[in-house]
Structure 1
Amino acid sequence: MYHQTIVKTNAEDVATAAHDWLIETIQETIASRGRCSLALSGGSTPKRLYQIIVESSLDSLDWSRVDLVWGDERNVPQDHVDSNYKMVREAWLDRLDPTKAPQVPRIFPVQISVNAPERAAAEYELQLRRVLDPDQKLANDFPSLDIVLLGLGDDAHTASLFPETEALEETKRLFVANYVPKFAAYRLTLTAPMINAARNVAFLVCGVSKRPAMEVVLHGPRHPNEYPAQLIEPKHGRLLWFVDAAASPES
């Protein structure tokens, strides 16, 4: 596993550096594989990254060759203020000109069924397989996303893999509904094995409140049931951390 930490001065510089890496990686992936799959994250720093794409990179590549999926989602309608899809749509997708096909990616949001989150997760798992493994060559294995964007919570959760929750034990599913007791609610999320099958995984982490989590994930004792981000170790891919100085344990 290739592992690199990039420390920047502030959140804006983190978003810019992550954007530049993302565009280059998408370009390389399209050149070598013809298409690129990208799993999106919620959060303020990814939101700024999506805005930078609109501001500077709509003509940098053929976005119609990019498949957007969601790394996790709240169990709320797509127009709800807490929806990750709504955030991505407002920061990026709603600002596209649909008449300019090369600027418009293929979009695969989670189809939420608020009263049946397990069903929604199972249906999205099938959608992921259709997108990532259209020839059904990997029916008993994990297909590889090209790029996964992740955040890190103060409690060391990532995606919607929260401490002491059932999804941390998952070894076969790609995408699950994960009940989170502290919210008394379900979240829908990629599983750790699915993330670890990706070719590129990038964390975007900003703010002094994240420093203790960064310290324990990178340097602390291994207790992934308490610190879920410790589970993220791509088997054959690259792992990058884009971090601001406030969040970096080394600063």
Structure 2
Amino acid sequence: MEIKIYKDKNEVAEQFSAYFVEKAGEHEAFHVALSGGSTPKIVFDVLAQNFADKVDWTKVHFYWGDERCVPPTDDESNYKMTVEHLFSKIDLPHENINRILGEKDPEGEAMRYANLLEIDLDRVGEVPQFDLVILGMGDDGHTASIFPHQIELWDAADHCVVATHPDSGQKRVSINGKVINTAKEVAFLVTGASKAEKVEAIIEKTEGSEVYPASLVNPKSGKLVWFLDEEAAVQLNQNPS
């Protein structure tokens, strides 16, 4: 595990974008699972503004780790956010965008998307393998759309699952833990003081931390990078690497 701590969320976005460009350059075809949330939004802005000409976008294939079950025109759609902050600003072939169809029946869409991943990606022991999975983490320790009250979905037999938000009841389609941990690399993007308690629990492996789905992220490749700002890292004992 590598822990990178930066001054604020803007520096996190800048440094993660440089990391993304480097990783994209190492692959003939680069298959990435994106995250929603406020930190990726800033990352996408920085990528588009400062790094758009440093990536051969024809080689980058975008997927999502999770999506809310809403139409692509809805403000809650991770896809819509990515279009507005990244895709609309870069020269990306349309066929390189593989969205989760949030407007469809969730169960049927989870099956369709799992099948798409099996077709598009290399597989390791029958599990589709992304080159990079980008994850966020909620204040409750959830990641992708695997929430603490449904942590059993982490080990679900299907590559994609239907999750339910604990407060709103909103349905979401999410990749499962096996897909996350099969990825060649996994990067957490976590910023803000509200995340500090869970960041400490998960990275320091404090007692009881295993109830948080984010604590189960442990890629078989050993390549896990945390991009944190000082606010999110404030309770950590260790120095940044």
Q: One fold, TM greater than 0.5?
A: yes
Q: Residue 246 of structure 1 aligns to a residue in which SS? A: helix
Q: Which runs of 5+ in 1 are unaligned?
A: none
CA distance in 2, matches of 1:229, 1:221: 14
Q: Which residue pairs with 2:98 in the alignment?
A: 108
Aligned residues: CA RMSD: 1.9
Q: Which residue pairs with 1:72 in the alignment?
A: 66
Instruction: Please list the CA deviations of residues 186-217 of structure 1 after superposition, one character each: whole Å capped at 9, or x if unmatched.
Output: 11111111100001100011111100110111
1:12 to 10, 24, 39: 10
1:221 to 196, 207, 218: 207
Instruction: Please list the CA deviations of residues 91-142 of structure 1 after superposition, one character each: whole Å capped at 9, or x if unmatched.
Output: 01122357xx6xx77100011245x211111111111112114xxx66x611
CA distance in 2, matches of 1:83, 1:167: 25
Matched, 1:117 2:106: yes
Residues matched between the structures, number: 235
CA distance in 2, matches of 1:21, 1:164: 33
CA distance in 1, matches of 2:106, 2:52: 34
Q: Which residue pairs with 1:234 in the alignment?
A: 219
Instruction: Name the structure where helix makes up a greater proportion of residues.
Output: 2
Q: Which residue pairs with 1:85 in the alignment?
A: 79
Percent same amino acid at aligned positions?
34
TM superposition score normalised by structure 1: 0.88
CA distance in 2, matches of 1:181, 1:49: 27
Question: Following superposition, which runs of at least 4 residues in structure 1 exceed 4 angstroms of deviation?
Answer: none
Could you tell me how far 1:237 is from its partner in structure 2?
A: 4.0
CA distance in 2, matches of 1:54, 1:169: 32
TM superposition score normalised by structure 2: 0.91
